[in-house]
Structure 1
Amino acid sequence: MIPGLGIGPARPVQLRHGLATRPATAATVRVLTGADEAALGGGNGPGGEHWVTLVLATAVAELGGSRPEPEELRALSVGDRNALLLALVASTYGSLVEWVLDCPSCGERLDAAVDLVELLGDAAHAPAAPRPPAGLPAFRLPTGADLEALAELLPAVPGPAVGDPAADDPAEQARRLLLDRCVTAWHTVDEATVAAVETTMAATDPLADIELLLSCAACAAPVPAVLDPAAELAARLTPHRRLMTDVHALALAYGWTEPEVLALPAPRRAGYLTLIADGEAWAGDQ
């Protein structure tokens, strides 16, 4: 066995909403191992909300004091699921997310960075959303189960209604399907009221749609940047070929078995590979 190679403590995550069925606003996520990365697609994960539920079922060690069931993970709000994904990225691969963006005003290349731990801390301590305006129809926040259902329904949605070309837009189709599931009798109110409901939902679950407003260093113009937690995680998963290369190199250098190598998270494997490259590996008694 590899001596003294724990994969690190689980990271606590404070959820804004948690579960309706039991007290569950405190969660922990554990670091992904190489075996987890392989099971999740090895850099070629299918993506989508079903995949996100699989990721959370793999990595969420505790929710409200117990190991969560997949249905409980589906029942979390979209923002709470995103919080768990961001904590997972920070724990496994590091908390800094870096982008290279072009300023839409002057075209200057902008190097930007966001600290996920700070972002999660700000979200956890953000004030509660204001009371919804009077007269809005009853609504609930979209959940992972809703987004999974949308993914299944969208291919079967009929074509646009006559005189309503916007209904052919996939984003508009998704919006209407989500309203059908989450807002009572939304068809019976005017568009301004529906917009007020959507604004209230966004304020109540701010991590559901994460758009950051950066500033251009050259002209000070605002530069919007969208943070997609699932995409950030998928981009960091170690590809299958690279996992095989890691196993091969570490087995040769240290005599470790494939399960032992795949029990390590990506940064720990990278550290040992650096030692090998620097000629510091030792293949004595393990």
Structure 2
Amino acid sequence: MMFTEASLLDVWETAHGLSAVRRALVLAVAGGAEPAAAGDLAVGQRDEFLLALRERCFGTAFPCLVNCPSCGEELELELASRDLRPSRVDSPAMIAVDGYEVEFRPVTSRDLLEVHSRRALLERCVVAARSGGQDVDRSELPDAVLAALPDALAACDPQADVRIDLDCAVCGHRWASPFDIAVYLWTELEACARRLLYDVHALALAYGWSEAEVLAVSPGRRRRYLELAGTTA
């Protein structure tokens, strides 16, 4: 089901002014996540709902502009939804480092909201730790052990850290560029919402229509009315 323009404005208004994590949660709920459970979803699971919302609002093609980190050339490309859904592999949620065995879970939005340091975030993701057959409190894990967690977390939840393999047609440089669906989708929603608000404002001034009446007119007809009113942006 496609989102209506009125629904899009409602989501934009709710998310506007929030922090990046809280905004992503609003978008996830709009994409179908349960409101009470969204904060405890793994970030990759949350982002699946953002992808679903983006597909409903704007389709499955993702036009992008990327600057080559080597020569600075601006590259234009178009990604598809399938490019943004990494293949999932069964990755054990356990690592063994320097005699320690550490069980862990993926990072959630609640984690990102409630902790404010890298070490605290990593510790929070530790479910259990043992060394020499004895339980170890996660706060007592050595830095070297916790340093092994980020790679393991990325393998466990690949949707949370999407990277696109790119090569520059100008200089031949190859690199993996990060793709953040939360940032990408919000940029689109913000631009779309501002266009819709302009349409409502201009047509309300020109014809006295309400917001609902403006949004009930198809985008094509709306453009024509704006032209006739001499207010096309």
Q: Does 1:199 align with 2:151?
A: yes
Contact (CA 8 Å) 2:88, 2:158: kept in 1 or not?
no
Hey, what does 2:123 align to over in structure 1?
180
CA distance in 2, matches of 1:241, 1:108: 30
CA distance in 2, matches of 1:274, 1:222: 42
Structure 1 residues 16-48: Cα deviation after superposition (integer angstroms, max 9, x where no partner): xxxxxxxxxxxxxx6263344245338954342
Aligned residues: CA RMSD: 3.4
Residue 179 of structure 1 aligns with an amino acid whose one-letter code is: L
Hey, what does 2:31 align to over in structure 1?
59
CA distance in 1, matches of 2:221, 2:105: 48
Moved more, 179-188 or 241-250: 241-250
Contact (CA 8 Å) 1:98, 1:113: kept in 2 or not?
yes
Q: Select which of 210, 217, 228 maps to 2:169.
A: 217
Q: CA deviation at 1:187?
A: 4.2
Structure 1 residues 213-252: Cα deviation after superposition (integer angstroms, max 9, x where no partner): 3111123211332212221122112466533332356679
Q: Select which of 66, 76, 80 maps to 1:101.
A: 66
Q: CA deviation at 1:101?
A: 2.6
Equivalence map 1:153-172=2 (5 Å)? 154=116
Q: CA deviation at 1:137?
A: 1.5
Hey, what does 2:186 align to over in structure 1?
234
Aligned residues: 215
Contact (CA 8 Å) 1:247, 1:261: kept in 2 or not?
yes
Q: Can you give the 5+ residue segments of structure 2 that lack an aligned partner in the other structure? A: 129-136, 229-233
Q: CA deviation at 1:131?
A: 6.5
Equivalence map 1:1-286=2 (5 Å)? 9=1, 31=3, 33-41=5-13, 44-60=16-32, 68=34, 70-115=35-80, 117-120=81-84, 122-123=85-86, 125-129=87-91, 132-134=94-96, 135-150=100-115, 154=116, 173=117, 175-183=118-126, 184=128, 185-238=137-190, 242-247=195-200, 257-259=210-212, 261-262=214-215, 270-274=219-223, 276=225
CA distance in 2, matches of 1:200, 1:57: 27
Residue 83 of structure 2 aligns with an amino acid whose one-letter code is: L
CA distance in 1, matches of 2:105, 2:202: 51
Structure with greater proportional strand content: 2
Hey, what does 2:131 align to over in structure 1?
none
TM-score (norm 2): 0.73
Structure 1 residues 171-229: Cα deviation after superposition (integer angstroms, max 9, x where no partner): xx2x1121232114344333343233222111010111223231111232113322122
Moved more, 240-249 or 250-259: 250-259
TM-score (norm 1): 0.62
CA distance in 1, matches of 2:60, 2:48: 13
CA distance in 1, matches of 2:45, 2:65: 27
The change in CA–CA distance for 1:260 and 1:148 in structure 2 (over 3 A counts) is farther
- Percent identity between matched residues is 33
Q: Per the alignment, in what secondary structure is the counterpart of residue 71 of structure 1?
A: coil
Q: Can you give the 5+ residue segments of structure 1 that lack an aligned partner in the other structure? A: 1-8, 10-29, 155-172, 280-286
